[in-house]
Chains A and B, each alone.
Chain A
Amino acid sequence: RKEVEQDPGPFNVPEGATVAFNCTYSNSASQSFFWYRQDCRKEPKLLMSVYSSGNEDGRFTAQLNRASQYISLLIRDSKLSDSATYLCVVIPGGGNKLTFGTGTQLKVEL
């Protein structure tokens, strides 16, 4: 079983739609959780950290469910510029060695 699992997609949605991505992780001792965004052939960039209380950054909302070992990302009012691959990232212990999921590809269309 992979440490971090994501649906690879692609998710093709119209502009303005709401889309949700999910991710599960296997290590219950994991302490830190993130969503990264990666544009085609570019490096990953931090989108947002994920907390149990849930956190929001504009149109983006992230949620962590420790009991189910489940992380989600909700994007409201999708823009063409949101088209990218969204990577779920977990830090299994202390420190900063990142464990990535395979990524979920999002395509926002006119």
Chain B
Amino acid sequence: ETGVTQSPTHLIKTRGQQVTLRCSSQSGHNTVSWYQQALGQGPQFIFQYYREEENGRGNFPPRFSGLQFPNYSSELNVNALELDDSALYLCASSLSLSNTEAFFGQGTRLTVV
């Protein structure tokens, strides 16, 4: 158990809808990163939050947005869902920006139909 929890674990949405995924980071960790893992691929970096501010973004469109709260938990929001958004969404927390060890949650499996 990493202490990182994500909710929900599974989700089915219709194309065009919006979705919010949640992540509770490990205690004391102020850095949260989100990754998208399509079937048969490695995880792809979406963005990172540090102390409630976005700290870097991968090659994802603006309809992917995020938020980090004062308790360092985080949300990933995706608007106008597309079929290709179907994937495992992983949240990882780290002790700080300079700490390279990332602890992953179990992921949210999103299916867009």
Contact = CB atoms under 8 A, between A and B. Distances in A.
Interface residues of B, number: 29
B41 A97 contact: no
A44 interface: yes
Given A43-B107, A44-B90, A96 B41 contact: no
A96 B107 CA distance: 19
Interface of A: 4, 8, 32, 34, 41-46, 49, 87, 91, 94-103
A38 B42 CA distance: 10
A95 B97 contact: yes
Contacts of B33: 96-98
A32 B55 CA distance: 19
Given A43-B106, A44-B104, A96 B45 contact: no
B4 to A, nearest CB: 8
A45 B102 CA distance: 9
Given A87-B42, A101-B42, A103-B42, A94 B98 contact: yes
B104 A96 contact: no
A100 B42 contact: yes
B90 A43 contact: yes
Interface in B57-100: 58, 88, 90, 92, 94, 97-100
A44 B41 contact: no
A97 B101 contact: no
B56 A98 contact: no
Contacts of A91: 100
Given A95-B97, A97-B33, A98-B33, A42 B106 contact: yes
Contacts of B44: 100
B43 A96 contact: no
B30 to A, nearest CB: 12
Contacts of A41: 88, 109
A97 B56 contact: yes
